[in-house]
């Protein structure tokens, strides 16, 4: 079942289900090398969401700003390679949404615990903003806030559930968005957490 959320934004409910076991194995291998950690914003606040990355670079924030870094600042080693299972899921979803040649080089992973949130923002640290972003939701459900190109635009809320995949392309690629504070809950696999994988062509 395909839902159109906005210009270029396509919601594939339950798309990740057949890939779940392989994704879980790969996720464990990645966080074993580069664990989830709470980054600090340039303004000096610690983020409530914990993050890590895999692929050719990783998105990081510190007092000096935001950037894609080929080295994990925590381990001072390259980020773990993108697992084949991740790449397969991201490319199958992108193909379904009309992006047959999407070649992500980065997967940013966000971990939410109850009360974690992601404030309204745009994703524009990637080199070429014409490439889509593929987002995979795992674990506890969350409320996604979707605005427009201007911070003042009207916000629509969408619930995102375990295994839902969203492909953000076209105009929606630069829309303001965020995640409301995660509600308390228990998921059979991810317990009290929500994990979101975002596949990007960043370099
Ligand atoms: C999340 N993550 O659920 C969300 C899902 C992030 C982030 O926002 O930056 O890590 S990705 C949602 C997204 C990506 C790119 C564009 C748009 C939404 N959009 O135009 O709404 O942790
Ligand atoms: Fe974002």
ipTM of the complex: 0.96
The mean pLDDT values, 10 residues at a time, for the chain of 203 residues are: 90 98 98 98 98 98 98 98 98 97 98 98 97 98 98 97 97 97 98 98 98
82 Cα–ligand 1 center, Å: 19
- Locate 53 and state its tokens: 């990355």
Q: So what's the pLDDT on residue 168?
A: 97
User: Taking the chain, what is the end-to-end CA distance rounded to the nearest angstrom?
Assistant: 32
DSSP state of 171: G
Closest atom of ligand 1 to 110 CA is 22
Q: So what's the pLDDT on residue 119?
A: 98
**Does any ligand 1 atom lie closer than 6 A to the CB of residue 198?**
yes
What is the 3-class SS of 42-94, one letter each residue? CCCCECCCEEEEEECCEEEEECCEEEEECEECCCCEECCCCCHHHHHHHHHHH
CA-proximal residue: ligand 1, atom 5 (nearest): 135
Ligand nearest to the CA of 168: 1
Q: So what's the pLDDT on residue 3?
A: 85
Closest atom of ligand 1 to 108 CA is 10
Whether domain 2-200 has CATH 3.30.390.50: the reply is no
Tally: H helices and E strands in the chain:
2, 15
Closest atom of ligand 1 to 175 CA is 20
109 Cα–ligand 2 center, Å: 11
**Does any ligand 1 atom lie closer than 6 A to the CB of residue 133?**
yes
Residue of 4, 14, 1, 6 lying closest to 147 (CA atoms): 6
**What residue segments make up the domains of the chain, in order of their start?**
2-200
**Does any ligand 1 atom lie closer than 6 A to the CB of residue 199?**
no
Q: Which helix (H) or strand (E) holds 30?
A: helix 20-33
Helices 20-33 and 84-96: crossing angle in degrees, nearest 10, is 130
For the chain, state the CA radius of gyration: 16
SS3 29: helix
Cα-based distances in Å from 75 to 36, 61, 80, 116: 12, 15, 11, 24
DSSP state of 187: B
Neighbours of ion ligand 2 (CB under 5 A): 123
């Amino acid at each position: 079942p395909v839902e159109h959320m906005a210009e270029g934004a396509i919601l594939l409910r339950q798309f990740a289900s057949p890939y779940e076991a392989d994704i879980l194995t790969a996720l464990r291998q990645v966080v074993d090398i580069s664990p989830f950690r709470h980054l600090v914003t340039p303004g000096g606040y610690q983020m409530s969401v914990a993050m890590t990355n895999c692929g050719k670079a990783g998105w990081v924030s510190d007092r000096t700003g935001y950037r894609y870094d080929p080295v994990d600042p925590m381990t001072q080693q390259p980020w773990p390679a993108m697992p084949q299972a991740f790449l397969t899921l991201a490319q199958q979803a992108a193909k379904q949404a009309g992006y047959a040649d999407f070649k992500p080089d980065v997967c940013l992973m966000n971990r939410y615990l109850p009360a974690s949130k992601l404030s309204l923002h745009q994703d524009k640290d990637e080199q070429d903003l014409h490439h889509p972003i593929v987002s995979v939701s795992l674990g506890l459900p969350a409320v996604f806030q979707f605005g427009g190109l201007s911070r003042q635009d009207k916000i629509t809320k969408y619930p995102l559930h375990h295994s839902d995949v969203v492909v953000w392309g076209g105009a929606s690629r630069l829309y303001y968005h965020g995640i409301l504070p995660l509600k308390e809950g228990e998921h059979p696999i991810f317990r009290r957490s929500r994990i979101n994988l975002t596949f990007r062509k960043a370099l």
